[in-house]
Structure formats: C-alpha cells, structure tokens
Structure 1
C-alpha cells in the first residue's frame, strides 16, 4: 500500500515552499508560522519564512532541539507532557483516521530579542505510511494573548468529522465506543438512529447504554447529563 497524503495540507506546503507562489498578508505573516515534521526520522523538513519574521531566529537553525531550547523554561515540562499525551493518542489510531483530528495546546517561546510570546500549536496529519501510522505532520504556531491560557482547558483534540472537541478526561473510564455512543445520545439521537449510524444492531446499542449507566452510577441518561454538566466525563 502506498503512503496516504492529506492533499489539502500538501497543497499548502507546496505553495509556501515555492518562492513568490503565495503572498501573505502582513498581519498573518506576523502572527502564524508552520513547519513540517517527519515522525519517521524525527526531523523538521521545512519551516516557512514567517518563523524568522515572528521570532527573529534564522530558519536554518530550526529543528526539534532548537524548538525545545527556545521554549520558556517554565513551560518545557508541560510541552513534553502534552507531546507524550499526543503520541499516546496517535498510536491508537490508523490510516485515514489520522486526518480526522487536530491536536491543540499552547506554550511560551523566547524570541531572539529575549521577549516571550505564547503560541497556540495545532498539529494534524499530513501523510501516513503503508502501515497506517503517522509519518508526517503539519505543525502551526499562532501567536495568542498570553492571558488566554487555562491549564485545565488548554490541551484539546478536535474531531473534524463530528465537528466537536473530544473529551480527554474520561473520569468514568468509558470505552471509545461508549464515549462515541454517549456523545450521540447527548446530541439527541435515539438508539435506532445510533444503530443505523454506527451500523450495529439495536441490541448492541442497548447493551452499551446499560453499561454506560452502570459505569457512571446513573439511573437514567437525564441524570447522567446533569452529572456531565458538572464533570467532563
């Protein structure tokens, strides 16, 4: 099987890597830069010129070691923790599902002039290999308001198919399928609609519903929804 590529983001990469092919607005040039990460070799393949404009550093110096060196010392442990969390998530999915998710979190970097800025990092799959594993990713850094940071809500994974953020706490230890069904129940779908959508029997959905109520110690989904208003499952 050949490698599978996210053509939308490849077009973005190709446009930016060709001189004078795309002309950025000045405001965008000063607030966003991106780079291409090769997971198979753990190297940076490309970083666009906005990196120099924003940080003051030379593009040629940019690699993963350099990135960790310019991260604010108080944010480095947080960065490493969230990277590990992202790797754990990525290791559980395969093939086109990689293109479904965008991982987001933020941290501070130190610019060449010694000042610091907070960057919101967004990472999504650019290419997967013949084994269905992530091989290349597009990483975007956008300068954001430093006061916008909240540790409890900073790390997010956006599901482009469901058009919603995943729950990452899972305090009730639900399985991935149970989480999926619970999300659909919260959206107002009936058991029949869920069984049709997921292409499983209605009895299977009923079993999952019973297990969800048992795990969450709830008598009904009305009660469970009230619980979820206070605790992100």
Structure 2
C-alpha cells in the first residue's frame, strides 16, 4: 500500500474538523524547526517529525526516532507511529485529539498557528517495553483558506521522570498568545485539583521546565530575580515539592505542563 493511503484511527477524528484540508497536498516547505523546539519541553531524549495533515505522511525525522524505538527505517506514515503506541492508550489519544479540535474550533482558525497541544501516552521502545512519552504538536502551515496542512510533532521520553499518565490535554499559546487550557479526559490525577497556580506561576513553571535559570527567567519576564525566587518558592509550596526534580515530576503527573 502506498504510504499516503495508510489509514489510522485519527483520520476519522481529523476529518470531523473542517479546519484541516481534506485534499491531498504535497508540501516542500521546511518549517522553522529550531524555533519550534524552543517552544517545547525536551526534558530527556526526544525526537521530532513533520506531518503532512492532508495525507498523514511524515518527513524531516530527527535521528533519535530510530534510536529510541529500535527502528532501522524512518516511519513514512503516521500509522507507523501509532503502531508503536500502547493499544490501551489509543482510545485516550483519540479523545485527546477530539478535545484539541474542539478547542481550536472555539478559538478560531486565525489563531491555529499560535497554539501548542500536548498530552502523554506510552510507546514501545528499543528495550522492548512500553514507556511514557510526552507528545507535543505545533501547527506550522495552512493553505490560502486557513485550512491546516502541516504540523511538527515532538515526542520526549519522560519515563525517568514519571510513569503516571495524567490523562490531561494541555493547549497553550506560543508566540504572541498566552493561552493555557487544561482539559481532563478521564481518571484525572488525584492531586491536580488541589494545585491552583496563578497565570504568572504557570509561566514561571513552564520556563523552569525548559531548563532556564532564575536570572534567565527574570530577563525573559522582565521581573526581578527576587520576584522569580518568590514565584518558585510559592510554586514549590503549592505543589508540595522540595526541589526542581520533584517539581518536574509533579508537573507532569498533574498535567501542569
């Protein structure tokens, strides 16, 4: 079967949204990978690939994809990525994508390229077992009618941080937008409802997760280092964490990042 004809469970979900172009389209444009990676968390080994949303074909693979999954050839269709996913997690992924589409419809086509979606699921690794990965997707191209045609997906192995899936979808703004939507799918983390971070604390947590120091965060947010230390102290207190390592674990487990 031709790569572009392979079917996967998300086709039906995506086809329910008029904002994704249905006709097949060849894409030669390479998205600004470096800028996109800067918007994403990569706390651990990661890889990315570009997906043509009109036919689910993949390109521009990061070499870590082969290493992490023990593959000898790069997947050419999204179905091959989904085949690496734990079968029990497929229903969650489909629900997660439905929630992403619903929120995108609510926010409007004009904002699609300034939104990032993320959630977690288990994938088969080169060791032969299933480990928890953090999935992030940034839309990178639309056609003349604002229909989506391209996305960059990044997968980070976070098994060393946590093996607990928060069953949460996050939709956050990038670039000029600062959206933050946390959507529970099922079996919500028992601790997450007790953690209520302010908008500023959420921004600081996101930058901590990206590996920035206190001084770097203060410059980025145009705040004093003392203020950043205070925010970090408050975040640790609210999450009942003693240090940054515990904070990252709790942030993933509770679907805060």
Scaled by the length of structure 2, the TM-score of the pair is: 0.50
Q: How far does the alpha carbon of each residue in 1:121-168 deviate from its partner, in whole angstroms, 9 at most, with x for none? A: 1111111111112110010111113334222xx211012344341254
Tell me the SS of whatever aligns to 1:86. Answer: helix
Structure 2: which 5+ runs fail to align?
Answer: 1-28, 185-198, 201-257
Q: Deviations over 1:166-191 (max 9, x none)?
A: 2547xxxxxxxxxxxxxxxx99xxxx
Please say which structure displays the higher CA radius of gyration.
1
Of 102, 121, 127, 1:113 maps to 127
Of residues 65-74 and 159-168 in structure 1, the stretch that sits farther from structure 2 once superposed is 159-168
What's 2:154 paired with?
A: 140
Counterparts of residues 118-133 of structure 1 (less than 5 Å): 118-133=132-147
Aligned pair partner of 1:75 in 52, 76, 89: 89
Residue 65 (structure 1) aligned with residue 79 (structure 2):
yes
Contact 2:50–2:59 (CA under 8 A) maintained in structure 1: yes
Does the 8 Å CA contact 2:114/2:177 hold for their aligned counterparts?
no
> What is the TM-score when the length of structure 1 is the normalising length?
0.55
- For residues 43 and 13 of structure 1, what CA distance do their matches in structure 2 show? 21
Structure 2 CA distance for aligned equivalents of residues 132 and 61 of structure 1:
28
Moved over 4 A (4+): none
Distance 2:148 2:61 in 1: 19
User: How far does residue 114 in structure 1 lie from its aligned partner after superposition?
Assistant: 1.4
- Do the aligned partners of 2:75 and 2:81 also contact (CA within 8 Å) in 1? no
Q: Partners of 1:159 and 1:13 in 2: how far apart?
A: 17
- SS of 2:88's equivalent? coil
The CA RMSD measured in Å over matched residues stands at: 3.1
Q: Kindly tell me: are residues 29 and 159 of structure 1, through their superposed partners in 2, closer, same or farther at Cα, counting changes over 3 Å?
A: closer
1:218-233 → structure 2 map (5 Å cutoff): none
Give 1 or 2: higher helix fraction.
1
Deviation at 1:101, TM superposition (A): 0.8
Three-state SS of the structure 2 residue aligned to 1:70 is: coil
Q: Matched residue pairs, number?
A: 149
